[in-house]
Amino acid sequence: MKKVTIYGAGAVGGNVAVRLASAGVADVSVVARGAHLAAIRERGLTLIHKDQRTTVRPVAATDNPADLPPQDLIIVTLKATSLPDAAPALAALRAPGAPVLFLINGIPWWWSHGLPAGHAASGVPLDLIDPNRALRDTLGADAALGGVIYSPNEVTAPGEITNKGHSRFLLGEPDGTRSPRLASTVDLFAAAGIEVSARTDLRRDIFGKLVLNVSVNPLCALTGLTARERLLEPGIRDLSRTLIHEVIAVSDASGFPVDPDLDIEALLDPERVPDARPSMLQDVLAGRPMEVDALLGQLQVLARYGEVATPALDGVLPLLQGLNRRVTQAG
């Protein structure tokens, strides 16, 4: 059976780990830390969805990836801020030729890999998300598969993940090909009952998710409001709309336009938005660093590169950077 490690078995990673392990489709190990890891070792890892609780005991649960044998698939669900430091451990954990699937939010570190020479986005600086080229030089962009996550989860207690809505995953190769390793990974997810699809233009999907992330996450983090509550404030709702249009403008200039049928008004309808705490608000409340650069900073770089004006983003970003500094110093 395929050896699979979930590297960062928190909110999203814990969801995936439980579903793969409970389906019996892989030998699942998890990398976690602290009280969460201690609870997994003692009681197992639990996923709560609606009224159902599913508990599994991974093959191994550790905070030291060197304890694990080489893995056939590594699924990375760390925050983008933690990725560069993890590069050596990820490289050592791979079995020869094994893919590393990055299920992360925002612009990924492999963004320029696989683009044709001369593409409008191929020369964009990526220093904010891969400083000192730690991931590219240590792990290698050829190892990476990309993923876009639609799955609202929260660690509600050590060893316990609560899923608060529908989950689906979009997976793709950086070069857009339908490779055997992509097909194998998609098949593994599907065998566990996870809604998944293979994509040939994942960067468009990344921008589609950024439409949500950029218009929701920073505003909830700055105000303490849930995703739905922010839409009940007319001024914040208007700012959300402006941010959506700025993300769309950057996607157009980058050569990866989002779906033209995107229903913006549905995204701004409080009756259709879950009353959930998005990841940045969860981070603030827990005293953790936020993914400011992956979600907003690198987007601003792309905007500058494409000569796109983003006044709303330019106003929100320094406020979020200030909040992130305060949260990080307090922690």
Catalytic residues: 209
Q: How distant, in Å, are the alpha carbons of 35, 44, 45, 256, 286 from that of 157? A: 9, 12, 11, 39, 12
Closest by CA position to 56, among listed 17, 89, 91, 25: 17
Query: What is the rounded end-to-end Cα distance, in angstroms, of the chain?
Result: 41
297 phi, psi to nearest 5 deg: -60, -50
What is the spatial distance between Cα 28 and Cα 104, in angstroms, rounded to a whole number? 19
CA 324 distance to own-chain centroid: 18
Q: Tell me the C-alpha distance between 313 and 34, whole Å.
A: 35
162 Ramachandran zone, left/alpha/beta (phi>0; psi -120 to 50) = beta
Helices (H), 76-201: 83-93, 134, 180-191
Cβ atoms 258, 212 nearer than 8 A? no
Q: What is the number of alpha carbons within 13 Å of residue 240 lying toward its C-beta?
A: 28
- Cα–Cα distances (Å) from 178 to 27, 68, 127, in that order, read 25, 29, 29
For residue 48, report the phi and psi dihedrals to the nearest 5 degrees.
Answer: -110, 125
